[in-house]
Amino acid sequence: MRNEDARDAELGAFVAARSGSLLRYGYLLTGDRARAEDLVQDALVKVYLAWPRIEDTGSLDRYTRQTMTRLHVSWWRRAVNRERPVAIPELPDEADAAAPLPGAPIEERDEVWRLLATIGPRQRAVLVLRFYEGLDDAEIADVLGCAVGTVRSQASRGLAHLRDRMAARPSASTTPAARPTAPGREDPR
């Protein structure tokens, strides 16, 4: 009984300290606040049940995010969750927003949220882990449980999809000549 009390206290402290960050990460994956809350809750239940097997509590945040990512992908695969809402998903409050474009005008951030909602969950997960979490390809592959080549192909396809969507916008402010390239890479044109 004493071990369970210590486990509850440790997990409670982790949840108190990291719940906001986990909720923002869940929102980036799902694009919906309610689903993000469900995702965090389901992941924390799994973490709680796995607690006796977790040896390195220092990597608890990473383990939880990995669990969230895998749960999100498995939700997407289920037939029940194949519905897509037609309304634009609720955007986070300014205070809660984990802005994909820090300091960017609200209109640009809103557009990024809408664009991220148009790509598949694995591509979105790869892009969120790369650009929001700052993980490299090997770390993303570890989190998603796939090969590094899969991460690269998902990122490439996701970015290509986003570029196509941005180019198709009627008010596209980014012209092909002004399209940003990754540092150290030249535009192939």
Confidence of residue 171 (pLDDT cuts 50, 70, 90): low
For residues 24 and 94, the answer to whether their CB atoms sit within 8 Å is no
**In the CATH hierarchy, which top-level class contains the domain 101-175?**
mainly alpha
Q: What backbone torsions phi and psi does residue 163 show, to the nearest 5 degrees?
A: -60, -45
Burial class of residue 11 in the structure, from the number of CB atoms within 10 Å of its CB (0-12 exposed, 13-18 middle, 19+ buried)? middle
Taking the C-alpha atoms of 147, 129, 24 and 163 in order, what is their torsion angle to the nearest 10 degrees?
-110
Q: CATH assignment of 1-98, given 1.10.1740, 3.30.420, 1.20.140, 2.40.70?
A: 1.10.1740
**b/e burial code for range 143-179 (CB count within 10 A of at least 16 → b):** bbebeeebbeebbeebbebbeeeeeeeeeeeeeeeee
How does pLDDT run across 44-79, given as a tens digit for each residue? 999 988 888 887 777 888 889 889 988 988 876 664
Has residue 103 got a pLDDT over 50? Answer: yes
CA gap 89, 114 in Å, rounded: 8
CA gap 44, 68 in Å, rounded: 9
How does pLDDT run across 148-157, given as a tens digit for each residue? 999 999 999 9
Domain spans of the chain? 1-98, 101-175
